[in-house]
Structures are given as C-alpha cells and as structure tokens.
C-alpha cells in the first residue's frame, strides 16, 4: 500500500506513470520503495561506476515551486 502511494506521488509530482509495463502494457507490481538517502546514493553511485541502461539516468527537467496559496 505504501509503495502504491509512492507511485501516485511520482505520477503527480514528476508526471511519471510507472503503473503500466512499457513492453507489454500489463500492470506493474511495486516490490520495494527505497527512501533512505544513503542507500539511494549507493545505488546511483554503483550505476554511475558500472553503467546502467540509458533510461536509468533519465531525470525530469527542473520546475518552479508551486504558487503560494
């Protein structure tokens, strides 16, 4: 359930929809949600050193903060 909220957050904040499988169009099941900054840095560092698929390095363009309410 918590991972599903994370998927909804990605869709809302970054316009990334990770729910459909790109190759087959089927539903994607989230098996983990990594939120520890140290673990995230270690994973990204590993990919930078050893390579990864080009899609792994995609980062959405920066955007302005939301307007004040």
DSSP secondary structure code for residue 20 in this structure: B
Q: What is the pLDDT of residue 66?
A: 83
CA angle, residues 42, 61, 9, in degrees to nearest 5: 70
Per-residue model confidence as pLDDT tens digits over 13-69:
777 777 777 777 777 776 777 889 999 999 889 878 887 666 655 667 788 888 887
Element (H, E) at 57: none
Backbone angles phi, psi at 33, to 5 degrees: -135, 110
0.85 surpassed by pTM: no
pLDDT band at residue 2, thresholds of 50, 70 and 90? low
**What are the residue ranges spanned by the domains of the chain?**
2-53
């Amino acid at each position: 359930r918590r991972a599903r909220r994370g998927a909804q957050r990605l869709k809302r904040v970054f316009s990334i929809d990770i729910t459909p499988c790109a190759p087959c169009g089927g539903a994607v099941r989230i098996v983990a949600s990594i939120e520890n900054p140290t673990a995230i840095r270690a994973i990204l560092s590993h990919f930078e050193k050893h390579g990864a698929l080009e899609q792994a390095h995609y980062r959405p363009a920066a955007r302005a903060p939301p307007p004040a309410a």
